[in-house]
A and B are shown apart, each in its own frame.
Chain A
Amino acid sequence: DRVKGQGRGCLLKEIHLNVTDLGLGYRTKEELIFRYCSGPCFDAETNYDKILNNLTHNKKLDKETPSRTCCRPVAFDDDVSFLDDSLEYHTLKKHSARKCACV
């Protein structure tokens, strides 16, 4: 669970798209709502992230650049199905976010 007051900038956003906008190679005129996580996570950073930041800055980690806190989905939306132009059904799983957090 996220500590109160941390990661407030990381939010669930949504955009109305054509299935073809997803770039997954499907040919269809159907549409969907795509939800994603976006926003800063500075206020959710731990000592671990501060140390990584300092070590990267002081060049103590050679060429490694470990990832710091990211605004990511922690739960995914329900599956979505659509019929393509050749009358075949497709179902996408884990394609859209439901809940976001700084992880």
Chain B
Amino acid sequence: PALAKENNCLNAAKACNLNDTCKKYRSAYISPCTSRVSTAEVCNKRKCHKALRQFFDKVPPKHSYGMLFCSCPLGDQLACSERRRQTIVPACSYEDKEKPNCLTLQASCKTNYICRSRLADFFTNCQPEPRSLSGCLKENYADCLLSYSGLIGTVMTSNYLRSSKISVSPFCDCSSSGNSKEECDRFTEFFTDNACLRNAILAFGNGTDVSVWQPMPPV
């Protein structure tokens, strides 16, 4: 077990900058995600999303997940959890002027080939199952984490909420859902209150699910 003083998210950032591949692709997304392009736009969101997708495509999970799924002690809100929230540069990749309705956002995701397939993967691989020990229907945390990280760089880009327990959400809510309120709530809860996804993130952060970052033996 990690010492309370250890900042796992900082340690992951250090490890990334000492690895040539991780360092290269990290600065390759931080640059576009932090460069102002005009007085109206804080960044070029399209370029930021593309570079984020590249980061998760090219960098080995040991490093990319190390930063995205690092574990933070409950008491530590600033140094660790805020750093984890900043991993995807949310000011550019996540936040927007207006918060859309989640079903509207889902509909816009479905018009894009990449987003549609990655969202489908996420719903398949992170499906919760209360009766299983892992909390997942498909008892494979690695597939769930891969599907979740695959959403980063699409319109369904999700991030950690400022909450005492691990909870993530895309940038949307269920206000003005009309008749579809229940459907919208079900959709958001798959992100915010999903035991399978939460267990997968915790297992990676605690280093208890070794298969996630060690290559699988050939079948």
Say yes or no: is A32 at the interface (Cβ < 8 Å to chain B).
yes
| A interface secondary structure, majority | strand
B13 touches which of A33, A82, A87 (Cβ 8 Å)? A82
Taking the closest CB of chain B, its distance from the CB of A33, in whole angstroms, is 6
1/0 contact string of A71-96 vs chain B (CB within 8 Å): 00000001111110001010100000
Output the residue of B14, B24, B82, B89 with the most chain A CB within 10 A.
B14
Q: Is the Cβ of B30 less than 8 Å from the Cβ of A89?
A: yes
Q: Are B82 and A87 in contact (CB under 8 A)?
A: yes
A31 pairs with B14, CB closer than 8 A: yes
Which B residues are within 8 Å of any A CB, using their own CB?
A: 7, 10, 13-14, 17-18, 20, 23-24, 26-28, 30-31, 33-34, 82-83, 86, 89
Closest-by-CB residue of B relative to A78 is B24
Q: Which residues of B contact A31 (CB under 8 A)?
A: 14, 17-18
Contacts A83-B13, A87-B86 given: A78-B27 contact, CB under 8 Å?
Answer: yes
* Residues in A lying within 8 Å of B, measured CB to CB: 16, 29-33, 78-83, 87, 89, 91
Looking at chain B's contact residues, the main secondary structure is helix
How many residue pairs, one in A and one in B, have C-beta atoms under 8 Å apart?
48
Q: Contact at A81–B26, with CB atoms within 8 Å? A: yes
Q: Tell me, in angstroms, the Cα distance from A33 to B24 when the chains sit together.
A: 12
CB pair B14 A91 closer than 8 Å: no
| B18 close to A33 (CB less than 8 A) | yes
Chain A hits for B24, CB < 8 A: 78-79
Name A16's closest neighbour in chain B (CB-CB).
B18
Give the nearest-CB partner of A30 in chain B: B13
Cβ of B27 and Cβ of A30 under 8 Å apart? no
| A19 closest partner in B (C-beta) | B17
Q: By the criterion CB–CB under 8 Å, are B89 and A30 in contact?
A: no
9 tightest A-B contacts by CB? A81-B30, A81-B27, A79-B27, A78-B24, A31-B14, A89-B34, A32-B17, A89-B30, A91-B31
CA distance A29 to B17 in the complex (A): 12
**Beta-carbon nearest neighbor of B15 in chain A:** A31
The distance in angstroms between the C-alpha atoms of A29 and B80, with both chains bound, is: 12
Tell me the nearest residue of chain B to A92, going by C-beta. B27
Q: Chain A contacts of B30 at CB under 8 A? A: 81, 89, 91
Distance to closest chain A CB from B122 (angstroms): 27
B82 x A78 contact (CB < 8 A) = no
Evaluate contact between A80 and B18: CB separation under 8 angstroms: no
A83 and B83 in contact (CB under 8 A), knowing A30-B14, A32-B17, A33-B17? Answer: yes
Q: Which residue of B lies closest to A33 (CB)?
A: B18
Shortest CB-to-CB span from B16 to chain A, Å, is 9
A-B residue pairs in contact (CB < 8 Å), sample of 7: A30-B10, A32-B18, A32-B23, A81-B27, A82-B17, A89-B89, A91-B27
Contact A83 B86 (CB under 8 A): yes
